[in-house]
Amino acid sequence: MEKKNVWETYDAAQLEELEQFTKEYMQFLDQGKTERECIDAIVNQIEEAGYQELAALQKERKKVKAGDKVYSVCMNKSIVMFHVGSRPLSEGMNILGAHVDSPRLDVKQDPLYEDGGFAYLDTHYYGGVKKYQWVTLPLALHGVVIKKDGTTVEVTIGEEADDPVFFISDLLIHLASEQMEKKASKVIEGEALDLIVGNRPLKLAGDDEKDEKKGKDPVKQGVLKILKECYDMEEEDFLSAELEVVPAGRAREAGFDRSMILAYGQDDRVCAFASLKAMLELDKPERTACCILVDKEEIGSVGATGMRSRFFENSVAELFALCGGEAAPEGYGELALRRCLAASTMLSSDVSSAFDPTYAGSFDKKNVAYLGGGMVFNKFTGSRGKSGSNDANAEYLAYIRRIFEEAGVRFQTAELGKVDLGGGGTIAYILALYGMQVIDSGVAVLNMHAPWEATSKADVYETKRGYAAFLAHNGME
């Protein structure tokens, strides 16, 4: 089947809209390099658009009606949004689901130490990474420190032009003959991914010079002095901190033609942003629209903020209660909730691997996503024999095709790579447990899980158009 480059299909008005949309997307990437930052940015946008917090409505005992926009946040790391439709909620929803966590390095709970004249922060990598990709890069620190009294200290260091950055060292090539013989998975070990954060010893004066404790590890002491002065932070406060090490720098246009975006965290914030904007564009839906953006997908969707938690299910149940009898004329108990979820349709909004000619042998050229090919559908993910996969049925694929062709949305179908080379998973199979129709869909990404990932502006724009068309549809008959 012919695969057409979508850039060739746009008129001047669409190109202008595309550029504006992707400019906003790049700003979103810069604002949200952690899950907390993403959720903060999203809440700011949706509240301006008239979304109300579910907890506040519950407290005020307000009922929700068709046209209302409601959201709920879980632990500042996940969010669910609803745009209530005119049809009963028990008839199901159109759901978009993406994740806002990305591979990174997490600072350990007892991280700060000195060795060889350097101060280090000990880290533990998060998600699937090629560890050798994280050395010798300018890196930034993002996160929060929660002090014993409950005070929250927000930390962002390395993003402004006059900020310092941090880095992980690598062995110089002149001495690396043994290192170069190692497998790529062993060239840099996980315990070697320690962040260099200082080299200047603290100079003691007066009585401090006689204090043996203060004279020990002077570079570490110098870092602690800075943390105290800038953040009123003691070394013990690392125990209740969430600090993430991410690439320093802003999202950039890539290529002479500026057709691509090079940035950290596009898996899966590209789909999260496209889903968010599709929700904000929606006007008077018949079928309730829902967008769930979750944490922890990169480590198995576990924990209270991951898709395996009951956060989503509980939020839908609370929405039923706020909608009252109109949500489910036959009653809004457990059965109505189950019927709603089973009758729902979902796009599991996650990225797909893009064809890379340099490594062409890893892909099936007929069944791979191409940059500039439009929105991507993965009928299944998983690994090898589709292990761990949600495998969408043919009826649902036909339904999706019909929606997109009616809306003029350009799309392509793909697999992650050749059958026996590996694979990956998404949140699709978790939502499918409710009995709803689910398929993976999103944007093709080059350099996936690397510190800097690449996407096509056209694919990002087309994916938003696809999500908007899906949300506005009245569901499978």
| Three-state SS annotation for 365-380 | HHHCECCCCCEEEECC
Average pLDDT over residues 73-94: 95
Signed CA dihedral, 223, 228, 231, 234: sign only = positive
Instruction: Report whether 104 contacts 244 (CB < 8 A).
Output: yes
The verdict on 127 and 228 lying in the same domain is yes
With H, G, I as helix, E, B as strand and everything else as coil, classify residue 116. coil
Q: Which of 247, 272, 301 is the last residue of a domain?
A: 247
| pLDDT > 90 fraction of the chain, expressed in percent and rounded | 83
pLDDT recorded at residue 331? 59
> How much is the mean pLDDT over the chain?
93
Question: Same domain, yes or no, for 337 and 466?
Answer: yes
Domain range for 372 is 6-102+264-472
Reported as a pLDDT band with limits 50, 70 and 90, residue 6 is very high
Any idea of the CA torsion for 144, 318, 299, 393, to the nearest 10 degrees?
-150
**Domain boundary residue among 221, 247, 273?**
247
Q: In angstroms, rounded to a whole number, what is the distance separating the alpha carbons of residues 209 and 200? A: 17
| Proportion of the chain above pLDDT 70, given as a percent | 96
Per the CB < 8 A criterion, the answer to whether 412 and 370 are in contact is yes
| Domain assignment of residue 252, yes or no | no
Task: Give the domain-ending residue among 247, 282, 309.
Answer: 247
Domain contains 36: yes
Give pLDDT tens digits for 238-289.
999 999 999 999 999 999 999 999 999 999 899 999 999 999 999 999 999 9
- Rounded to an integer, what distance in angstroms lies between the CA atom of residue 465 and that of residue 452? 25
| pLDDT above 70 (res 314) | yes
The verdict on 167 and 141 lying in the same domain is yes
Q: Is it the case that residue 328 has pLDDT exceeding 80?
A: no
**Over the stretch 388-413, which tens digit does the pLDDT of each residue have?**
888 889 999 999 999 999 999 999 99
Q: Residue 356: inside a domain, yes or no? A: yes
384 compared with 375, residue with greater pLDDT:
375
Q: Which two tokens stand for residue 344?
A: 């729902």
CATH of the domain at 126: 2.30.250.10
**Side chain identity at 264, as an amino acid letter?**
Y
Residue 438: in which H helix or E strand, if any? Answer: strand 437-442
The rounded radius of gyration (Å) of the Cα atoms in the chain is 24
Give yes or no for residue 167 having a pLDDT over 90: yes
Residue 204: predicted pLDDT: 72
User: Within a domain: residue 243?
Assistant: yes
Domain harbouring 14, CATH code: 3.40.630.10
**325-354: average pLDDT:** 83
pLDDT tens for residues 202-220? 987 655 555 556 668 999 9
Q: How confident is the model at residue 347 (pLDDT cuts 50, 70, 90)?
A: very high
Among candidate residues 317, 298, 331, the one with its CA nearest the CA of residue 80: 317
Residue with tokens 């014993």: 148
Helix runs in 251-390, H state only: 266-281, 311-323, 334-343
Place 103 in a pLDDT band, splitting at 50, 70 and 90. Answer: very high
Q: Are residues 236 and 310 in the same domain?
A: no
Q: How many CB atoms lie within 10 A of CB 107?
A: 23
Q: pLDDT at residue 476 above 80?
A: no
Residue 430 reports pLDDT greater than 60 = yes
Record the tokens describing residue 340, joined without a space: 């709603």
311 lies in the same domain as 396: yes
Q: What is the pLDDT of residue 180?
A: 95
Phi, psi dihedrals of residue 31, rounded to the nearest 5°: -75, -30
Q: Residue 384 CB: number of other CB atoms within 10 A?
A: 11
Give the span between the Cα atoms of 41 and 386, in whole angstroms. 36
- Give the per-residue pLDDT at 1: 66
Q: Pairing relation of β-strands 260-263 and 453-456?
A: antiparallel
Please tell me whether residues 109 and 88 are part of one structural domain: no
pLDDT tier, 384 (very low <50, low <70, confident <90, very high otherwise): confident
39 has a pLDDT exceeding 90? yes
Verify that 187 and 270 share a domain, yes or no: no
Residues 373 and 438 reside in one and the same domain: yes
Note the pLDDT of residue 355.
94
Residue 477 lies in a domain: no
Residue 258 resides in a domain: no
Distance separating alpha carbons of residues 449 and 457, to the nearest angstrom: 19
Instruction: Tell whether the model's pLDDT for residue 422 goes beyond 90.
Output: no
Instruction: Give a yes or no: residue 269 inside a domain.
Output: yes
> Are both 228 and 370 inside the same structural domain?
no
What's residue 419's pLDDT? 84
Residue 256 lies in a domain: no
Query: What is the 8-class DSSP label of residue 30?
Result: H
Task: Report how far residue 122's alpha carbon sits from residue 190's, in angstroms, rounded to the nearest whole number.
Answer: 10
> Are 375 and 282 within one domain?
yes
Residue 252 host element (H or E): strand 252-254
Same domain, residue pair 146 and 198: yes
Q: How many domains does the chain have?
A: 2
Q: For residues 206 and 279, state if they share a domain.
A: no
Q: What average pLDDT does this structure show over 170-181?
A: 96
